[in-house]
């Protein structure tokens, strides 16, 4: 009976420790997409991650409870086993032996090994064990609420902080990691939907060039291809980098790079684990470079100067960090047919920092000379995405954790009482008719613009300007 209790406690401790590290290590973009799948597991994940601090606290409380029970039973069992060999110990020696043996067992079986596996396969494990984790989340709900209340009180009272806060959008590192994961998982014969490809291209840079964000030549760490592997290993340790460039004779003749993981293969030469690298000119646009790296499954490129020498290097992470350091903002126009209105919307979108303007292909005006003239440069600076199926695009945005708001004169919630946090898409309806029924049904929330005069509605570009300004005001323009 005692052995069974100890084994159960070790398994539960491994579960609690593993789920704690799995959540911390999991990709939040992946979790957000999983939560949008509309199945039983997605609903459980939504509940668990709604308040991350409470979930992690419940795992910590559960771990402490089972460790206490484990300590009570394991200590007596270990001493009974040792005394069966006719050894006699003082009370202090007995306590010391119990502590050492119990600690070794718990560290190996319930701490170190589970955390290693749960960290490596964080996304899979947190999805697999979401249901049992939710049971313990409910079981310890009020205990965790009390513990968090005490911690928030101490933080606010003595350290003058805001206490526990939830991040409303993804960090650039998380989004970068997710994009890299998706790049690696796509097979050679798979094709990306053209509409999604257009949308993806709209999120990329328009005018930034490789030389603007590259790591300059003077800051590059590299080794000669003929150097011993030990020197490469020491350079990895010294710099802390995950990738080191490899050159022949000089830094102007780069052959490739080595990833730190390759050292686990115990290579005899640097050349045997060297990975080929891409070469691009300084003047290449970032969006074109990202397209090259994505198609060729590469993560590093060497930037060449006008004479063919090495000017610097750039990685996919550098591009992501530069492009996604804030919540996204999209303006969706549902059936706007007047070119003057579209041009004015472009002008407003540019002024308010919109990341992309999205319109349907049918029953809407396209990008023509009138639109460009009215936009006064906005049509050149704001990415314009024309989609064949607006409903599918809105679903894609929602699955990417973009909250979609619609505007309607009859909505009960006014603009100023709407909380605009995280990545947002604003849908504006056509002149006179407003949003179509399906578009309206797909919106996460609907709000209205308060009207104080006798006019019943606003021009779509004016309404867009009011909404976008309020969003930026709440984001502390």
Q: Is 231 in the same domain as 343?
A: no
Element (H, E) at 95: helix 91-106
For residues 68 and 441, give the distance between their C-alpha atoms in angstroms, rounded to a whole number: 52
Q: Is 306 in the same domain as 444?
A: no
The pLDDT value recorded for residue 172 is 45
Q: Is 275 in the same domain as 368?
A: no
Q: Is 258 in the same domain as 350?
A: no
The pLDDT value recorded for residue 456 is 75
The pLDDT value recorded for residue 475 is 76
Q: Is 248 in the same domain as 128?
A: no
Q: Is 16 in the same domain as 31?
A: yes
242-263: pLDDT as tens digits = 889 999 999 999 999 998 888 8
Measured over the CA atoms of residue 302, residue 307, residue 311 and residue 316, the dihedral's sign is negative
The tally of domains found in the chain comes to 3
Q: Is residue 172 part of a domain?
A: no
The answer to whether the beta carbons of residues 314 and 257 sit under 8 Å apart is: no
Q: Is 142 in the same domain as 287?
A: no
**CA dist 395 to 44, 98, 359, Å?**
21, 58, 15
Spans in the chain with pLDDT lower than 70: 28-30, 32-33, 35-36, 82-89, 160, 162-208, 317, 320-326, 476-477
The pLDDT value recorded for residue 474 is 83
Q: Is residue 173 part of a domain?
A: no
**Quick check: helix, strand or coil at residue 271?**
helix
The pLDDT value recorded for residue 466 is 92
Q: Is 466 in the same domain as 366?
A: yes
The pLDDT value recorded for residue 191 is 46
- Segments forming the whole domain that contains residue 280: 204-323
Residue that terminates a domain, selected from 286, 303, 323: 323
Q: Is residue 185 part of a domain?
A: no
Q: Is 356 in the same domain as 319?
A: no
Tokens of 173: 């590192």
Q: Is 213 in the same domain as 267?
A: yes
Q: What CATH number is attached to the domain comprising 318? A: 3.10.580.10
Q: Is residue 168 part of a domain?
A: no
Q: Is residue 130 part of a domain?
A: yes
Q: Is 318 in the same domain as 336?
A: no
**Quick check: helix, strand or coil at residue 403?**
strand
Residue that terminates a domain, selected from 101, 131, 158: 158
Which residue is it, tokens 């080929």? 276
Q: Is 46 in the same domain as 100?
A: yes
454: which residues sit within 8 A by CB, 6+ positions away? Answer: none
**CA dist 477 to 99, 284, 471, 474, Å?**
57, 32, 9, 7
Residue that terminates a domain, selected from 123, 158, 193: 158
Tokens of 201: 């291209």
């Amino acid at each position: 009976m005692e052995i069974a209790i100890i084994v159960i406690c070790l398994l539960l401790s491994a579960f609690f420790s593993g789920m704690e590290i799995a959540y911390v290590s999991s990709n939040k973009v992946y979790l957000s997409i999983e939560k949008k799948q509309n199945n039983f597991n997605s609903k459980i994940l939504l509940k668990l991650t709604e308040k991350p601090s409470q979930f992690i606290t419940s795992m910590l409380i559960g771990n402490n409870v089972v460790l206490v029970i484990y300590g009570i039973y394991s200590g007596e069992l270990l001493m009974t086993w040792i005394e069966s060999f006719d050894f006699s110990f003082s009370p202090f020696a007995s306590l010391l032996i119990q502590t050492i043996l119990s600690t070794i067992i718990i560290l190996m079986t319930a701490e170190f090994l589970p955390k290693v596996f749960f960290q490596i396969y964080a996304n899979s494990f947190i999805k697999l064990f979401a249901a049992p984790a939710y049971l313990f989340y409910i079981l310890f709900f009020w205990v965790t609420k009390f513990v968090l209340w005490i911690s928030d009180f101490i933080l606010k009272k003595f350290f003058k902080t805001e206490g526990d806060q939830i991040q409303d959008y993804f960090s650039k590192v998380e989004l970068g990691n997710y994009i890299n994961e998706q790049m690696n998982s796509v097979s050679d014969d798979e094709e990306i939907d053209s509409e999604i490809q257009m949308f993806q291209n709209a999120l990329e840079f328009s005018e930034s060039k490789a030389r603007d964000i590259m790591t300059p030549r003077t800051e590059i760490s590299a080794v000669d291809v003929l150097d011993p592997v030990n020197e490469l290993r020491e350079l990895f340790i010294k710099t802390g980098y995950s990738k080191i460039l490899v050159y022949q004779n000089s830094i102007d003749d780069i052959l490739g790079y080595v990833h730190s993981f390759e050292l686990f293969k115990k290579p005899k030469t640097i050349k045997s684990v060297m990975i080929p690298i891409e070469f691009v000119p300084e003047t290449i646009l970032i969006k074109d470079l990202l397209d090259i790296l994505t198609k060729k499954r590469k993560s590093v490129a060497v930037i060449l100067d006008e004479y063919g020498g090495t000017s610097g290097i750039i990685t996919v992470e550098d591009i992501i960090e530069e492009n996604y350091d804030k919540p996204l903002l999209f303006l969706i126009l549902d059936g706007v047919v007047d070119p003057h209105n579209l041009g004015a919307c472009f002008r407003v979108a540019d002024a308010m920092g919109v990341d992309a303007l999205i319109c349907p292909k049918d029953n809407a005006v396209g990008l023509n000379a009138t639109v460009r003239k009215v936009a006064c440069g906005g049509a050149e600076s704001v990415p314009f995405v024309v989609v064949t199926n607006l409903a599918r695009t809105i679903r894609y945005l929602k699955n990417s954790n973009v909250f979609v708001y619609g505007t309607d004169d009859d909505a009960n919630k006014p603009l100023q009482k709407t909380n605009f946090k995280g990545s947002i898409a604003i849908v504006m309806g056509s002149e006179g008719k407003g949003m179509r029924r399906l578009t309206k049904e797909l919106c996460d929330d609907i709000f209205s613009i308060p009207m104080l005069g006798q006019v019943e509605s606003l021009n779509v570009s004016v309404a867009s300007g009011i909404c976008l300004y309020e969003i930026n005001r709440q984001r502390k323009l």
